[in-house]
Amino acid sequence: MDVDHHHHHHNGNGNGSAAVYDSNGNDEIKQEVKEEPMMSDDDMTFSEMMKKDKKKKKRKAESDEDDSGDEYKPETKNHRKSASKKNGKKHSEDEEESEVEYKPEVKKPKKKDSKKRNRESSEEESDADYSDEDVKPKKKKASKDKNKPSTSTPKKDVKKEPPKKKPKKEEDVVDVWEWWKEEKKPDGVKWNSLQHMGPLFAPAYVPLPDSVHFKYAGERMKLSLEAEECATFYAGVLDHEYSTMKAFNENFMKDWRKVMTSKEREKITDLKKCDFRAIDLYQKEQREIRKAMTKEEKLKIKEEKEAEMKIYGIAVIDGHRQKIANFRIEPPGVFRGRGGHPKMGFIKKRIMPEDVIINCGKDTPIPKPPAGHKWKEVRHDNTVTWLCSWTESVLGQNKYIMLNPSSKIKGEKDYEKYETARRLKKKIAAIRAKYTEDFKDREMRVRQRATALYFIDKLALRAGNEKDVDEAADTVGCCSLRVEHIKLYDSAKIEETDKKEKEYVVEFDFLGKDSIRYFNRVAVEKRVYKNLGKFIENKNPGDDLFDRLDTSTLNEHLRSLMDGLTVKVFRTYNASITLQEQLQKLTNPKDSVAAKILSYNRANRQVAILCNHQRSVSKTHDQAMEKLEQKIKDKKKEVKEAEEALKHARGAEKEKAQKKYDRLKEQLKKLKIARTDKDENKQIALGTSKLNYLDPRITVAWCKEHDVPLEKVFTKTHREKFRWAIDMTNSSDEKFVF
């Protein structure tokens, strides 16, 4: 049963209990989408303050991780203290590279602390534009390593030592491929040659030590290996509300019983009589052991990770080395889902090589499966961009191993997406005139289509595909809205603070993608309001609002209006145009860099509000705000003292005192800006739109025009992903206009 962990990756954790990677099987590092601090390089006080905040966020992200993911990730158990800290990933003890057929010559990447996470919203990853089949695996950020401490003895004669080579930058691990300067491939062809090592499988399950017991009806019971592994999954959710949910428990019991022996099935019939507490305690102890690892142990793990990354994390596509986004196959675990998903509690089975389809070039070596196993199938399909594929057991969805967002294939897709949205800009006036005319069409089908399109355009609603609510959470989009999701008011206040009421108000209240609530009151055109009244006539609350419309017919209509036009293009267009307009409106060229960044974030926030990119207010928000208030208070005191000192300063001291006063005043100003920014964005996720809906060239052009360093608004992840946009915009003399 156990896989030889793609190419003998032995689990050094002691216990290979599954689900130690991210729930979608991603590589060790999730894409960071953190907002970078607004400060100048010389502003050390504020810089230190922000660094502290970041560390706190990091710790919070780790402690909250179990709640924010899509599926449950039990911790690994470890008697030998050799697991990575906190993120609990598995590592190989010895990398036997000799058996590997193909090794791209790759220098070690610089590695960023793999624990660093900032989850802005559940949409962060799931909104990304992925793959040929609309696949959305989560993205990872490539590793980056701080200079390693020297283990050699101190040199006596430093001068005679040859100069040390500078550590290789991450750019040297993969090729910087300026694909946007090359000729485009024929339509449909994604690559000519593709070579990779296949996926890295989850380590085998390592049994619990004899001292850790599962109990049934108060009695100790030794479980079979598969049943015990599933017990560790459930132990990991004991502290979570999932363990109290009826559907979760019923589904878990149903799947758990499938892997039990007949004797176990006979005895274990009631989940309430199962005692997982000793397993839970053991898992928590292992977590603490990992936290207490020595620097040397951490360094060893880091090196092992890098060795894995060098082999499995690189694909060679058309002769260029490119990073792979998620080369680890997700381990088994319990499916949690979002928004009371009907399938929560079912067990995600272990993926074996026999489940995996490999896609690679015809003339390149086929990746070797682990010893004693074979691939399900090997394909040579250059019209798709995935490298490996398998079907996961709970939802029956296809999962894919894809290239990193910074790769050519992803970059080209992004570029085409934004160019399509720019083409829509030229046609939007005619399209709006057409759907406005269709509001009063004789055919109800046409009226419904026009009204839905009005909301998709004005409110950036998603299309909303039909789905089986027994198979998925009950979330909706525009086409799948039901009568119960809207209320009509002849006149009403849009915001509670409004003094006057507006005519023809529609109130939307439904769960959108990822079970995020969409609540909005909008004033609409009279004809739209009247149409909605007609659409809900003689219908029950659970009936479809647009009963004569579905997404496929809507998208078919859109394609007839413009080649390549879909509902998503409207969302991309409206998001990008909003950012461009808001930046023009809010930016004052005379402002400081910090104030300009505040304006940028405000423009970005308008887009996030339009797209309904929300996040829950962090548990530590109030605490962080209090600390910021205290810093402002302390800084005001320093400014007052410096002002007094300046008054009494004479001669040469006066200039020095003036400089100190000016510096402290600037620091106070930045702290106040940080306070405003932090509070305004507590419930809004800015990163999702920045990664998926906003043409990056708008941001690059704005930074160029206003002398704002790009790294103040784009993280390293953004800068890698949007290298094409940065080069195109900066190398052009003309200002980019979306």
Residues assigned a catalytic role? 693
DSSP 333: E
Q: 372's torsion region: left (phi>0), alpha (psi -120 to 50) or beta? A: left
Nearest to 703 by CA among 690, 715, 693, 712: 712
Report the alpha-carbon distance of residue 135 to residue 157 in Å, rounded.
Answer: 58
Number of other residues whose CB lies within 10 A of the CB of residue 375: 18
Nearest to 716 by CA among 200, 317, 109, 142: 142
Q: 538's torsion region: left (phi>0), alpha (psi -120 to 50) or beta? A: left
- CB-side exposure of 652: number of CA atoms within 13 Å? 0
Report the alpha-carbon distance of residue 712 to residue 726 in Å, rounded.
Answer: 14
DSSP 241: G
DSSP 367-429: PPPPTT---SEEE--TTS--SEEEE-TTT--EEEE-B-TTSHHHHHHHHHHHHHHHHHHHHHH
- List 322's β-bridge partners, or say none: 315
Q: Collapse the DSSP code of 644 into the 3-class scheme (helix H, G, I; strand E, B; otherwise coil) and give the result.
A: helix
Q: Which residue has the tokens 């996926």?
A: 199
Report how far apart the first and last C-alpha atoms of the chain are (Å, whole number). 54
Mention every residue, 6+ apart, whose C-beta is less than 8 A from residue 213. Answer: 220, 221, 278
Q: What share of the chain is helix, strand, coil (3-state, %, to 5)?
A: 45, 10, 45
492-500 long-range Cβ contacts below 8 angstroms, 24+ apart: 492/521, 493/521, 494/521, 494/522, 494/523, 495/521
Nearest to 115 by CA among 28, 51, 34: 28
Segment holding 567, helix H or strand E? helix 567-586
- Under a CB-based contact definition with an 8 Å cutoff, are residues 657 and 621 in contact? no
392: Cα separation from own chain's centroid? 20
Segment holding 523, helix H or strand E? strand 517-523
Please provide the size of the chain in residues: 738
Number of other residues whose CB lies within 10 A of the CB of residue 571: 24
Mention every residue, 6+ apart, whose C-beta is less than 8 A from residue 233. Answer: 17, 18, 19, 72, 74, 252, 332, 333, 334, 347
Q: What sign for the dihedral angle of Cα 723, 725, 730, 732?
A: positive
Mention every residue, 6+ apart, whose C-beta is less than 8 A from residue 34. Answer: 54, 57, 118, 687, 715
Q: Collapse the DSSP code of 347 into the 3-class scheme (helix H, G, I; strand E, B; otherwise coil) and give the result.
A: strand
Report the alpha-carbon distance of residue 679 to residue 696 in Å, rounded.
Answer: 25
Task: Looking at 111-156, list the stretches that DSSP marks H as alpha helix, in order from N- to C-terminal side.
Answer: 123-126
Report the alpha-carbon distance of residue 373 to residue 75 in Å, rounded.
Answer: 27
